[in-house]
Structure formats: structure tokens, C-alpha cells
Amino acid sequence: MNTTAHPDTVLIIDFGSQVTQLIARRVREAGVYSEIVPFQSAEEAFRRIEPKAVILSGSPASTIDIGSPRAPQMIFEAGVPVLGICYGEQTMCAQLGGSVEGGHHREFGRAFLEIEDECALFDGVWAKGTRHQVWMSHGDRVTTIPDGFRVVGTSTGAPFAAIADEKRKFYAVQFHPEVVHTPDGSKLLANFVHRIAGLRGDWSMAAYREQAVAAIRKQVGDGRVICALSGGVDSSVAAVLIHEAIGERLTCIFVDHGLMRKGEGEQVVSMYREHYNIPLVHVQAQDLFIGALEGEADPEKKRKTIGRLFIEVFEQEAKKLERDGKRAEFLAQGTLYPDVIESVSFTGGPSVTIKSHHNVGGLPDRMNMKLVEPLRELFKDEVRALGRELGLPDHFIERHPFPGPGLAIRCPGPVTREKLDILREADAIYLDEIRKAGLYDAIWQAFAVLLPVQTVGVMGDGRTYEFVCALRAVTSVDGMTADFYHYDMNFLGNAATRIINEVRGINRVVYDVTSKPPGTIEWE
């Protein structure tokens, strides 16, 4: 798929903020398609996409430094509405004749915005004379605004915390409206795309499904597709969507590596063969993967080993299909938009490194296959919405996220068959207790971790020397920030008692209360 199918697109220019993806999510939640591009390619993207509005993201950079990122000047001359956020406000002002200085009352975290005047960005949300919580993250601040702008909001550390030039439809804010810590921020972004840019809210999964099916048929033609089915939501939704487009010319290959949660391999096979009648090759490769991982402690080596073996097994199965006269020219992958963004990020920080168990455009050249990636424009929550649109069962769609390397990375330290079996049983009991308590849908992700620690304990009349199991549960609205779930102690006591009583090899259970702050990319 490509953006020619989305005539009303908002272009988001990424200057390196760790929460740029949230801007795109909020715009899409308002029913408008958005696309992120790094600032170096923004001019080319602006000409190609012809967006109806532009948003400038935040950045760890400083506009006062020589060579710091800038927006293409043509954007300010094109007559389209522009919204600058944090660094985006600062570079907008610097490029249009204002000034920015460093060292003035840095603001990080919760702050309060005083609404000094009415403006279209605040319509129906914030009134003149009121005070509202926002989330700040800046060391520099604007000290002079360009001609044509007026101040509509201030904060303790930012006298130009919100500015507007209605004639040119330029708006800028020093705070971050995209994060949940600015409670009304999504409404401000909705005002920008609807009231200011005049865009309709017609971006929906029903429309996307129709466009995606047409795009798949156009790309594949009369060819065949094989899909690397992991058993997760992403590859499953991709498979069902492609099957709708080309039917029996899709073959799914499910490589069962023995690192899934208890019973999940059987569930995947049952769903695809019995409910969807999608051609499925089930490869029993548990011995191969676990044998290669046994004794390996380094998490990155685990990932790379799993990725390498997966490709090798997949290639073998593809060759078998070719010998049977079912050669596929295309490979389907459940690549998501965050994977694409991270793979082209311009910074040298954490957002540049794509998760190493993903394979965005990274097939070995020897396979000589073209990629079909029907989800590469979607965020995780949008994939779930598309899955519901396609009729996948809710219990499958709403399943907690599970990383590609599976239990291998939830078993820190050397991997052994025994430890994987212990972890699988503990994890199953934990999730069973969560479901019985009616908490599963209230938690974004929950799982057990088998720590590389053994402790002495007394169980009954005997001494034991067994593993410690850690339980984790987090809540999240966007998958990028998270807080630990605040369990009732009775629940934790019941879950821990069951695990210790029923799983031989564990004699102690702890609960992880680590939170995931704004800006971190991955939570596993």
C-alpha cells in the first residue's frame, strides 16, 4: 500500500523525539491518516505526498546549535496549516524570524498552561483565563516570536508556551499534546486536523481493509504468497487479510520453535485449519531451536540465533513448496508502522535500532522474493481493529503482546529445556489466575519471568534449592508508556501460592513494579 490511497494525509516531520509515533497515533484516532518522515527526507516526502497539513515533532537537539535539524522552508511557503510541537515550535520560530535561547527555566514533566487568549487550537477545549495541566520537556525556550504570531498560552518556564498565526494557519506549542500526561492533548490535535486543516475523519479500518485488499491483488496479480506465521496477532491479521484478497494462493508456514506459551501452537493450528481453512504448513522445529539455544545466556545472541534458524527453516519449507509446483514469488510479513519508522530513524539513539527479531525488508537476497506487508501503515491497536473487522475472535485479537523470541528472553541467563518447561507452567498459572479474577482485559501485558537465581527454601519438612519466578503486569494506553498494574495483595498471594505448589522448580515468587516511562521504545 502507499499514500496515494490517502488523499487527506497529515505529514509529521520527525526531528528525533522519542514520542513522535504518538503524534501519528493521535491524528489517526481523530480519523485522519498521518505519515512520519525524518527531517532529512521531508522535502521529498512533502512533494510526493502533497499533505493537507504538517506537524513538526519534538527533538533532543537544540536549535541554537550549529547544524541542528530544520524543516524545509518550502513547507512554510506552501499555504498548508503547520503545527509545531516543542522543538517544532522552536525551529518554526527560528526559521520565521523569531529567536530561541537556552538555559532559561528548564521544564521537564508536569506543568500548567495559562490560557491567555482564544484560538482555533483551543476551541471547545480550553477557554481564556483557565489553567490546564500539560507535559513539558525542554531546556531551550522561545524568547521572541515571529511577526504575525500572538501569544495564546504561557507557563512558568515558557512565556510563549502556545502561539498562533491564524492568517497563515501556523500554530505552535512548547508542551507535548500527544502524550497522555497532557489530558486534553488529543483534543487539541483533533482541532488542528479538523477545525484548522478542515480534514474529514474518514480514516477507518473498514476503508483500510478495502484499500488493502485491492492493493494486495494489484501487487500479487496471479502469483502465490507464503506467509511466515508466528502465531501472534500481527502475522495472523496479515494472513487473514491476504487470504481474503487471493484465497488459496496463500500458504502459511508456522514454524513451531518450542518457545511459545502453553498450548499456543495447538491453538494456532486449530484456528487456521478449522476456522479459516487457510493452507497451513506446521513445522515441528522445537528440537532444532531449543538445542541451538541451550546454554546461551546473551539475550542478543538468543535473538539472532532464533532469527537465523527461522529463516533457514522457512527457506527449506519454501523449497518443498516449489518442488510441489507451488513456488511463491511473494513473502508476507506482519511488519507494523513502528517497525518501519524505527528502521529509518535518523538519530543515533535507541529509536534507530529496530527490534532485532523483526525483519523489515531484511530477507536474504538468495530467497529472491518480493515482500507483501499489508500492515506496514498500521499501529498495534489499529491491527487489532482490523482483525476485528476481518472477524478474528476477540479472545485472539485481545491477547497480550508476545515477543518474537518468546520464552527465550523471558528466561534470562542460559536457556535449558527444563527452565523453559518450568517457565511455561508458571506463566500459564499466572494468566489463568488473571482471567479468573476478571483482570485480563484491564492489563495490557502480563507474563512470568524465570530469574537466573536459585534460593534456599523450606517446603514442608524439606529444604529446597529452586528458582525465583518474577511476575510482571503493566497497563498502557499506547504501548509506548506503561505503569505496573496495582494488584490486590490477595491476588498476588493466591497466584504465588499456586505457582509454588504446582510448579516443581520454583520456591519463591516476586512481583515486578517497574514502570515504563515516556519515550522508551520496547517493553518485553
Active-site residue among 6, 176, 243, 358?
176
Active-site residue among 35, 89, 107, 178?
178
Does the pTM of the predicted model rise above 0.85? Answer: no
Ordered DSSP codes for 11-39: EEEESS-TTHHHHHHHHHHTT-EEEEEEG
Cell, residue 222: 496471479
pLDDT score for 307 = 87
pLDDT in tens, 329-350: 999 988 888 777 766 554 443 3
* The residue to which cell 487479510 is assigned: 241
- Report how far Cα 167 is from the mean position of its chain's Cα atoms: 36
Is pLDDT above 60 for 358? no
- Residue 4 CB contacts under 8 Å (≥ 6 apart), including other chains: none
DSSP 8-state assignment for residue 400:
P
* The residue to which cell 535473538 is assigned: 303
pLDDT in tens, 9-41: 999 999 988 888 889 989 999 999 999 999 999
pLDDT score for 115 = 96
Cell, residue 511: 512481583
Pairing of strands 53-56, 158-165: unpaired
Higher-pLDDT residue of 483, 508: 508
pLDDT score for 516 = 64
pLDDT score for 6 = 76
Query: Range with the lowest mean pLDDT among 46-50, 154-158, 361-365, 429-433?
Result: 361-365
What's the chain's length in residues? 524
pLDDT score for 348 = 41
- State the Cα–Cα distance between residues 237 and 389, nearest whole angstrom: 10
∠ CA 14-136-99, nearest 5°, is 70
Active-site residue among 6, 35, 86, 377?
86
Question: Predicted confidence band at 213 (pLDDT cuts at 50, 70, 90)?
Answer: very high
pLDDT in tens, 136-194: 886 788 899 999 999 999 988 788 999 999 999 999 999 999 988 899 999 999 999 99
For the stretch 301-325, what's the b/e string if a residue is b when 16 or more beta carbons lie within 10 angstroms of its beta carbon? ebbebbbebbbebbeebbeebeeee
* The residue to which cell 494468566 is assigned: 431
Q: Are the C-beta atoms of 24 and 34 separated by less than 8 Å?
A: yes
Query: Range with the lowest mean pLDDT among 197-206, 354-363, 390-399?
Result: 354-363
Question: Predicted confidence band at 103 (pLDDT cuts at 50, 70, 90)?
Answer: low
Active site residue 178: yes
Active site residue 86: yes
Which stretch of DSSP H or E encloses residue 446? Answer: strand 445-459
- State the Cα–Cα distance between residues 342 and 339, nearest whole angstrom: 5
Query: Range with the lowest mean pLDDT among 31-40, 323-332, 387-396, 458-467?
Result: 458-467
**R_g (Cα) of the chain, nearest Å:** 25
pLDDT score for 366 = 67
For the stretch 476-498, what's the b/e string if a residue is b when 16 or more beta carbons lie within 10 angstroms of its beta carbon? bebbbbbeebebeeebbeebbeb
Mean pLDDT of the chain: 87
pLDDT score for 46 = 95
